[in-house]
Structure 1
Amino acid sequence: ERFPYLAQELKRTGVNRLLLWEEYRKACSNGYSYSQFCYHLQVWLNAADVTMHLNHKAGDKAFVDFAGKKLSLVDLKTGEVRPVETFVAILGASQLTYVEAVESQKKKDWIKANENALWYFGGVPAALVPDCLKSGVTKGDKYEPDINPEYGAFAQHYHTVILPARPHSAKDKALVENAVNLVYIRIYAPLRDRIFYCLEDLNQAIGELLERHNQMNFQRLEKSRRQLFEEIEKPALKPLPLERYELRTFLNLKVQFNYHI
């Protein structure tokens, strides 16, 4: 009798078998073990799972991107639901992850989220690897991409460089895309029935689930992202500057014949 409900829930963003089993056991403490639950559910669904893992050098790169699927806020006065963007950053070696909901993909939100990620990590990697979105890269190219001037100034302030993911290169995007999928499972899914009215409350809830995610052990390694970060990645990061970056405005203006703008 539960299978139609479970099948429907599995179609929702981030919901997986483990989450459904945990909810099932709360309602039925003497029910199936996790393996039995998965077996019977898989027979009914005839489904399968896929996993992935990659290795990177400590302190080398942080991969940054926006999640494709959005969270939402509700206007307290009108009840209107509006989507918000989810920024995701992940360090290559430890896979320590940072997640933040922001208003838009505009440059100011993009740069601020990048900066917040660096302060969350407590240090700066040698390079930031964004996808080719306009807030970070004005022109994508395999060999000589054009970096958005303000994003470049931000990187200079933090003594790092921007290495955009190569267009049509799945390898360059694999780690952050896998991180986004885990964000769907470990953050989106637990929040799916909660209502938020402001970014501050949403980000507080995200932060609590994010820390839980970073403290969870890898399936094939008896250590968590947080432990790996403290052991191998944190010592390899460059120090943060004394002050945060101050957003600027870059304009292309034409100089007149009298040298006035």
Structure 2
Amino acid sequence: MRDLKRILELRFENHSQREIARMLKVSRNTVRDVFDAADAAGVYWNTAYNLSESQINELLFPSNGIDVSYEQPDYAYVHKELLKVGVSLKMLWKEYVDQCKSTHKVYLKYSAFCNNYSSYVKKNKLTMHITHKPGDRIMVDWDGKTMKVHDRSLNQDVTAYMFVAVLPFSMYCYVEACPRMDSKNWINCHIHAFEYFGGVSRILVPDNLKTGVTEHKKYEDPVLNKSYQEMADYYGMAIIPARVKKPRDKS
């Protein structure tokens, strides 16, 4: 909507076209068009204050109906840019607004911009970019892939399992090979990762593997491995496992 009624009210209060455009976050050309249409139709606040928006629109633009042409953002570009570190929806909206102002086009408000982007992501079954804070979380898991390591004492190749810890803001990683995927190695790898990163995060995000999470039912708090919980308590961290069957919760 053009906020026709509000434009007429602000005009009655002697606000300039520039002021009204800034207050309502619309282009100055839109305000000027409303002023011109109001003068041509003889419609002012004293006759419009008790009318609905659609009634005012019909008086000012009888042949057009509701003729609002917002410049639509390129959401494919928005989604691609959000994958870059440090880029936010707010920044991309401001960029879009600047482009609209330079070409004298009507732009969407920030809330509509975000809602439309969410609809675009849902319609195209894409993954929305998750904004992480530096050092706020550490995401951990067994990689799932294995590698062969030559054991000199046995003079044979043995299987090694890969522990991975990631700082999602920077994608800074720690990787360690272990002989077994058991609780002892799991916790030791965490300690080594904290030493490597030079500190701990506020939140630790593991997957729902048995070495860390005993039980995780939908709509219920997860039950953590006792040793794992004690480790988190010692370091002052909160463990929040990813949702079951929701791999996009993690980097």
TM-score by length of 2: 0.46
Q: Which has the higher contact order (CA 8 A, sep 6+)?
A: 1
Question: Which has the higher Rg, Structure 1 or Structure 2?
Answer: 2
